[in-house]
């Protein structure tokens, strides 16, 4: 486990690496974050299996996994539950409060080391807040957001930000304005050239 400076991770830093047991296609597998170098990673934390908001998020990311795959991106879900709890939840139908088969790994953080490394562990509750990190092909954190327990995240917004990150990495001379979507106009981060964008809108 690579510990960030002062226990805090920030955008622009290397993502703390980890090795953990995950449930992949209803099997237990050992995965390392660094194994995904060369691909983007959406790493998201959620509080607990067999709860209420969590299955809606997990299922939503799974249902749209193909869109992430098309963007050379892996999705990893993490909670402090054991791999056995993950498997039981996956083997429970959605209509019964389960999540059914998933298209991406569900990682066990039973020792709470990953949640602590990413600074999303709530020490009083002993579970992770709803942290989400987008990590680029070089293993650098490009985006992070942390929600409280009671409300879920947006798959649409995660995809939008991911596409913006990928766009500016391919086109470093451009920046993306608010609510930018693929195909829309970008701007040049220059006092003079940026006026072309503002004049057009």
- What tokens does 191 get? 């006092």
Pairing outcome for strands 121-122 and 127-128: antiparallel
Q: Is 54 a catalytic residue?
A: yes
Pairing outcome for strands 127-128 and 130-135: unpaired
The catalytic position among 33, 54, 129, 165 is: 54
The Cα–Cα gap between 153 and 58 comes to: 10
Check if the beta carbon of residue 89 is closer than 8 Å to that of residue 77.
no
Quote the distance between the C-alpha of residue 186 and its chain's center.
25
Buried b (16+ CB within 10 A) or exposed e, 133-159: bbbbeebebbbbeebebeebbebeebb
Return the active site residues: 54
């Amino acid at each position: 486990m690579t510990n960030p400076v002062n226990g805090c991770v920030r955008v622009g830093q290397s993502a703390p690496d980890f090795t953990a047991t995950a449930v992949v296609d209803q099997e237990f597998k050992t995965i390392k974050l660094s194994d995904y170098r060369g691909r983007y990673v959406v790493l998201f934390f959620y509080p607990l299996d067999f709860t209420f908001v969590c299955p809606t998020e997990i299922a939503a990311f799974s249902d749209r996994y193909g869109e992430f795959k098309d963007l050379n991106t892996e999705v990893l879900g993490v909670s402090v539950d054991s791999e056995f709890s993950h498997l039981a939840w996956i083997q429970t139908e959605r209509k019964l409060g389960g999540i059914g088969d998933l298209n991406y790994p569900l990682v066990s953080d039973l020792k709470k080391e990953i949640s602590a490394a990413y600074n999303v562990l709530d020490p009083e509750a002993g579970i992770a807040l709803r942290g989400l990190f987008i990590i680029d092909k070089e293993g650098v954190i490009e985006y992070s957001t942390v929600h409280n327990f009671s409300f879920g995240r947006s798959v649409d917004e995660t995809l939008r930000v991911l596409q913006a990150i990928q766009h500016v990495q391919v086109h470093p001379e451009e920046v993306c304005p608010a609510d930018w979507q693929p195909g829309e106009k970008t701007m040049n981060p220059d006092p003079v050239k940026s006026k072309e964008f503002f004049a057009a809108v």
